A and B are shown apart, each in its own frame.
Chain A
Amino acid sequence: NAGVTQTPKFRILKIGQSMTLQCTQDMNHNYMYWYRQDPGMGLKLIYYSVGAGITDKGEVPNGYNVSRSTTEDFPLRLELAAPSQTSVYFCASSYPGLAGGGTQYFGPGTRLLVL
């Protein structure tokens, strides 16, 4: 299994541009998540999904959109990039355990710089 894969690895955007961060998992996990990690900080949840066709906001959803048309894919869309969105973005997936979403497995991350 490849696990969780993310593309691109690095991207530079100009203010106002848009882009989609791709995330794919091959573990047949129902739950998928998008986090951002700012320097020296922990992970903040942007959006998550508990299954195909179902998405929900996390702690910091403003400026982002997601969709979940298949179990495997969970793309994150930035419509109007702002410097505040400069961060490292991690996608994760999990299979529901005894409680909640269970152990989350992370992708390698996408580094985004907005200038």
Chain B
Amino acid sequence: GESVGLHLPTLSVQEGDNSIINCAYSNSASDYFIWYKQESGKGPQFIIDIRSNMDKRQGQRVTVLLNKTVKHLSLQIAATQPGDSAVYFCATQAGYSTLTFGKGTMLLVSP
């Protein structure tokens, strides 16, 4: 079955630094990828998504990179702020299947 894994369970950065959160997936049929942010005590919040026909997509202070060759996804956050501290999940989907979520990476931003 598909597995979605994260390279680092916790990432600590200084305010103002750029953060990179990585995600590996195993299903080569995955064609839709999403990043969610989950703050303590809240539900996951959509950040950005990308489809398999793209390798890069930018939002406000966030960029998602997709490397289908090595089945790797990353989320880049520019000028990280204390409010960015949260758990970040990647999720993948293959066709009309349901989403498969990774375990999450905790991002800690120090002032």
Contact = CB atoms under 8 A, between A and B. Distances in A.
A107 interface: yes
Given A41-B103, A48-B98, A100 B93 contact: yes
Contacts, number: 61
Contact of B43 (A42, A100, A109): A109
- Interface footprint category on A: 20 to 34
B46 A43 contact: no
Interface residues of B, number: 25
Nearest to A41: B103
B45 A99 contact: no
Contacts of B96: 99-101
A106 B32 CA distance: 18
A101 B98 contact: yes
Task: Say what secondary structure dominates the interface of chain B.
Answer: loop
Nearest to B99: A104
A103 B32 CA distance: 9
Contact of B31 (A4, A44, A92, A99): A99
Contact of A42 (B51, B97, B101): B101
Contacts of A43: 44, 89, 101
B64 interface: no
Interface in B16-61: 31-32, 34, 36, 41-46, 49, 51
Interface string B87-111: 0010001111111011110000000
Shortest Cβ-Cβ A-B pairs, 5 listed = A106-B43, A42-B101, A43-B101, A42-B103, A100-B96
Interface of A: 4, 33, 35, 40-45, 48, 58, 90, 92, 97-101, 103-109
